[in-house]
Each structure stands twice: as C-alpha cells, then as structure tokens.
Amino acid sequence: MSEKEKKLDKIISKKMRALKILVTGASGYVGCNLRKYLEGVGYDVYGLTSKEVRGEKTYQVNTTDPQKLFSVLDSVKPDVIVHTVALSSLSECEKNPELAMKLNVETTRNIIDAVREIDQNAKLIFMSSDYVFDGERGDYKEDDQINPQTVYGKTKVLSEADIRECLENYIICRTANVYGGGGNFFNFVFDALEQNKIVDVFDDVFYTPTYMGYLLDSLRVLIELDFKGIIHVAGRERLSRYDFALKMAETLGKDKTLVRPVKAVGKLVAKDSSLNCDYSREVLRNYWPSVEESLHFCWGNLFPPYCHSVDERGSFAGVFQGYNWAEINYVESVKGSVRGNHYHKETVEGFFIIDGKIKVTLVDVVKGSKRAFIAKKGDVMLINPNTLHTFEMLENSKWINMLSKDMKFEPKDIYSVER
C-alpha cells in the first residue's frame, strides 16, 4: 500500500468511528458544557481538569506540567483536542502577569509539543478571544491587525502565534462573552434582576455576546467540516452592555428601569471589541439565534432546534426529540383572539409556531411567578404541568400543538384558575 493510500485509509477509518475528542478545562464553564454537548451527539469524549474528579474518561492533570500532560495525551491519543484552559479574568491577569503567562501560554506550548511528538495529524482547537484586538473600532475580521491592550489579550496573541508557527492542523476560534446559564457579566445582571435590584451597566462599551448553545454547535460543525485556520464565532448583534442588560430584563419580565446606564471607566474595558462573523457564517451555515431568542432559550420560554441545516434544497430544523406525543393538532387563530387560559396537572404541551405573532403569558400556579413574551414564526415552546398559559393573537397565527396525554376522555386534564 502506497503512502497516499495509507493516508486515505486512515482518514476513512476515522470517519467510520466516533472521533476521540479531549477537552481541556473540562470542569470550566465552556469546557464542561462542551464535553456534555459532544458526548450527547455521539463523540468519544475525554476530559482534562486540574480539579479532583470522579468518573470515566476524566483525568486530573496540571496542564503546566509537561510530562504529566504528555502522559495523558499519549494514553488517550485524541483525534481532536479542544483547549479551553485559561486564566480569563482581566483583572487577575493584570495583577499577576507571570501566572497568566504560565496558565495561558506555557500550557498551550505544552500541548503543542505533545501533539508534535505523539500525532501531528491531531487537530488542536484553541479558544481565543476578541481581546486580541485593541477594541478601538470594532467589527474586527479574522485578518485585521491584532493589537492587544491587556495582559489577557497578549497571552492569547502569543498562543495564537505559537500554534500558527508549530502546527498545520489547527483551529483558532475567537469568541466573545459567552453566556447561557453562566458567564460573569450574565450572572451579575441576572442576580440583580432576580432580586429586583438596580444594576449599573456601561452604555458606551460594545461587544458581540455569544450564546453558549451556538458556540457549542459551531465547534461541532467545524470539527465535522475538518476546518483549518482562524475563525470568529460570536453573536449576530453588536450591542452595548446596557442594551444587553435591557434585553435580559425584558425577556425575564422585569422592570427595565432596574437597568441604569453609566459610563465606562478603567483601561481594561475595550470601547468596541465586536467581532465580524461574515466568514464564519459562510462556513458554518448553522442556526444563529438573536440575543432575544437565545435569552428566551436560557429562561426556558422557547426551545432551540435540536439540529439545523441549510443547503441548496432549503433548510431543516429539528423541533422536538425524545418526546412521545399522544395527540397532535393544527390550529389557526385570528388577530385579537385569545386561546388557552388554562393549565394541565399531568400533560406536557409542545408548540411549533408556523406563522404569525402571539403574546404568550405563563403563570406558575404553584409559585405564582409570571412570565410574558412574544412567540413568532419558527419558535418552539414546551409548557410543563401546572403552568397557566394564555395566548393572545397579535397577528393571524398558525401553529402545531402537541400533547403528551390525549384529551379524548373525560375528565380532561384541563383546569382554569378561579378569580
């Protein structure tokens, strides 16, 4: 067998089995979510963390120790390494630049050295940042001049350079302010709003906040495409932090006056670090939710598609997976009409909006909490038992209604709230 045939045979054999993926920082915010996501779509996933761990396929290793790191990589022999480990606090990096160099740069160099010795065909995916730019003008493209102004950004630039110089099979994925059940700024605003406290937020600092679900799915697509190079994977909207906090308040049903605009102070805050994602949209073509949509996903008001694809034939969006529906209905409603205004004690109810615009009001009949939001074409909702749901048609609307329990027998699982 020729060398070319051997290489082709190796590529085919990889595609015939589940790729083996190692995630560094597997107990961190992005790493933990990424590992669970990749396992859920069928990959053979291993985790590497510095914390004490339990469970299979997880290794406790200090990534600054090159020998121990090499030992793990040599044992696992991953096809793909997703490197998420970093000291990401801007202030901590400024206070302790030596630690930032050790954790952010030396660790990456240790991984590079191990890959070069163990398997140069292994792909390294490096999670980088919008802070590689100076943050003066925003809308940065992949080939724009990098000019970091913080220690954190400088460590990312050094690691990017090391990867480009030493490896051929790599992805440098620059992203920004990942949120969705976590993230420092996201948690800061959420905690204040949940307690109905005033929160001061910069209205002169712009960025492209990135929904966790979109980042995870985009990494999956990049792996499956066998993409190589630098790419920006971030949210679709350039927003001020103030505007983002307002959207959080609005989608949570909180008083928007709790969010108070203030001016930024301090050299660590970039004026406009927004990333241009035109190139990644050409490459990925996956589902790219707006900030408003993704916040509804975070709160559980709406559900993202479990899969999404676009090609020359059109598009495909997965609505529900893993549910057993006993009844499915098609509904049309005219503008101004109201439906629902009841709850179920046992039945789970799903909705897929085909067309129109609907104001949805949900009330937890046990806790008394209330939410209201707008559902429109393409949106997916799941309403759990003991949730009073009322639909007001803002436009003529059409939807598919799915129930886990059919309503053909009396008494039906439908209840109203006495007033």
Domain ranges of the chain: 3-311, 327-403
Handedness of CA 16, 20, 21, 27 (dihedral sign): positive
Amino acid present at 93? C
The C-alpha atoms of residue 229 and residue 233 are separated, in whole angstroms, by 13
Chain-centroid distance, C-alpha 31: 11
Distance CA 338, CA 389 (A): 11
User: Phi and psi for 126 in degrees, rounded to 5?
Assistant: -105, 125
Tell me the pLDDT tens digit for each residue of 202-259. 999 999 999 999 999 999 999 999 999 999 999 999 999 999 999 999 999 899 999 9
From CA 252, how far away is CA 249, in angstroms rounded? 5
Residue 8 has pLDDT above 70, yes or no: no
pLDDT category of residue 12 using cuts at 50, 70 and 90: very low
Q: What is the percentage of the chain residues whose pLDDT exceeds 90? A: 82
How far is Cα 133 from Cα 146, in angstroms, rounded to an integer? 5
Structure tokens at 197: 């406290």
Domain 3-311 homologous superfamily, CATH: NAD(P)-binding Rossmann-like Domain (3.40.50.720)
Residue 16 has pLDDT above 50, yes or no: no
Summarised one tens digit per residue, pLDDT across range 149-162 is 999 999 999 999 99
| CATH class, range 327-403 | mainly beta
Residue 418: the pLDDT is: 65
The pLDDT tens digits for 126-146 are 999 999 999 999 999 999 999
Express each pLDDT in 184-201 by its tens digit: 899 999 999 999 999 999
Burial of 283 (0-12, 13-18, 19+ CB in 10 A): middle
pLDDT surpasses 60 at 384: yes
Cα(18)–Cα(288) distance, integer angstroms: 26
By three-state DSSP, how is residue 57 classified? coil
Lowest-confidence segment of 196-200, 262-266, 334-338, 365-369 by average pLDDT: 262-266
Question: What pLDDT shows up at residue 3?
Answer: 56
Longest CA pairwise span in the chain (Å):
81
What mean pLDDT, rounded, does the chain reach?
Answer: 92
Q: Do domains 3-311 and 327-403 have the same CATH topology?
A: no
The pLDDT value recorded for residue 310 is 81
pLDDT in tens, 249-294: 999 989 999 999 999 877 778 899 999 999 999 999 999 999 999 9
For the cut 90, the answer to whether the pLDDT of residue 419 exceeds it is no
Query: What sign does the CA torsion over 400, 402, 408, 409 have?
Result: negative
